[in-house]
Amino acid sequence: MIFDEAFNILIEQLKHSFSETRAPGLETPRYTPEIAQILWLADESACPSVQSIPPHSSIRIISNRFDVTQAAQSTELSATFSDFDFSEIPSNSIHKILYRLSKEKSVIHHIINEAFRLLSPRGELWVSGLKNEGAKTIIAKTANLFGNGHAEKYRSAYLGQFRKDTPLPLGEFLDTQNYLSLRLEKSSGMSFYSKPGLFGWNKIDKGSNYLLENIPLFLSHFKTPPNSLLDLGCGYGYLTIGTRDIPLGKRAATDNNAAAILAMKKNAEFYGINVCVIADDCAASLSNTFDMILCNPPFHQGFDINSMLTERFLYTTKRLLSPQGGALFVVNSFIGIEAVATSHFLHIATLANNGSFKLIMLSNRK
């Protein structure tokens, strides 16, 4: 299990919260787990650590990651998959909110603003994060909003605790970039709906663009034209949009991120493409095969090619690729996924390489 210092702080604090006095200046009446309403907000940093949260009927998990939601549900925690949309939760109804800070600023700001609305009078917000993630700055902003706060350092991580003492914030709400709203973006001559909460949400990924430029070359390797497409890890749907003119009988797109699912559905509607959009953990629930699989996997500089993530994406591709089908991955040129792919595919070839990105073609054609 990957150890996350910041996440572990929240778990340890929660385990002791029912019997211990809160930090100086944040004393609250003692309460029992049976009457406490605890909301834990979790993103990708929570998996697999979310399974360490003590199961209790008073705790509800909301996550924007499908795998985190599934992991929480596997331990009998109440968990909901959502793009951190709290519109159905009444104001002033939550006793305590716990949040391990996300990577993206607009997500953090949205959650902190909403936490103030959701908390009951004298309710508490606990946030944690690492020093090199800017946790101290976020804690200071949150203290300004709430008008109080207490921060403690635990090795490389910080824990901030805040209490809702007034019905209105004492400081200004944080800038969320209108987080929940999809908006029409235009880049490199293409229009698409997207939103904060997605990697590269307001631009076109250079690797994905390189893949689309080489689709005609990729299709020339098929003996018969493909009839089905899977966009594996679709994001807002750039690869699906870019292949909309290819005559196909079936299109599917899947992602682990709630914001990606919302954007992909909106773009399919916008372009009039019939796409089956599935929220899933690396397409684990899919069983039908596809003639063509396109993928820009979430690999990055410093990525270990022997990691479980590489193995999962390649195994899933092998499992879902039809016998005469072909898959096309785009990765940074320095990432050697070919070595891992040899245990899954008979044919592995570099379709193109521009020095920054390379296109790896995979198949098990006889």
What's the CATH number where 144 sits?
A: 3.40.50.150
Per-residue pLDDT for 249 more than 90?
yes
* Arithmetic mean of pLDDT over the chain: 91
152 shares its domain with 30: yes
Residue 225's nearest CA partner among 316, 88, 138, 326 is 326
87 shares its domain with 157: yes
Residues making up the chain, counted from first to last:
366
Residue corresponding to tokens 């499908």: 66
The pTM for the full model equals 0.92
Last-in-domain residue among 100, 130, 163: 163
Task: Classify residue 81: in a domain, yes or no.
Answer: yes
The reported pLDDT for the residue numbered 256 is: 96
Residue 315 CA to chain centroid, in angstroms?
Answer: 21
The reported pLDDT for the residue numbered 2 is: 59
Highest mean pLDDT among 129-138, 193-202, 268-277: 268-277
**Which residue range is the domain that position 78 belongs to?**
5-163
126 shares its domain with 221: no
Q: Please state whether beta strands 228-232 and 59-63 pair in parallel, antiparallel, or not at all (unpaired).
A: unpaired
The reported pLDDT for the residue numbered 35 is: 42
The reported pLDDT for the residue numbered 299 is: 77
Task: Classify residue 178: in a domain, yes or no.
Answer: no
Per-residue pLDDT for 160 more than 60?
yes
**How many CB atoms neighbour CB 223 within 10 A?**
6
Q: What is each CA distance from 362 to 22, 111, 126, in whole angstroms?
A: 56, 41, 46
The reported pLDDT for the residue numbered 18 is: 54
pLDDT tier for residue 188 given thresholds of 50, 70 and 90: confident
Residue 180's nearest CA partner among 120, 106, 290 is 106
* Continuous segment of H or E residues that includes residue 163: strand 157-163
The reported pLDDT for the residue numbered 298 is: 86
Task: Classify residue 321: in a domain, yes or no.
Answer: yes
Mean pLDDT of 71-98: 95
Task: Classify residue 170: in a domain, yes or no.
Answer: no
Please check whether residue 228 is in contact with residue 249, taking contact to mean a CB–CB distance below 8 angstroms: yes
**How many CB atoms neighbour CB 366 within 10 A?**
6
Per-residue pLDDT for 54 more than 90?
no
- Give me the number of domains the chain comprises: 2
Lowest average pLDDT, out of 32-41, 53-62, 84-93, 170-179, goes to 32-41
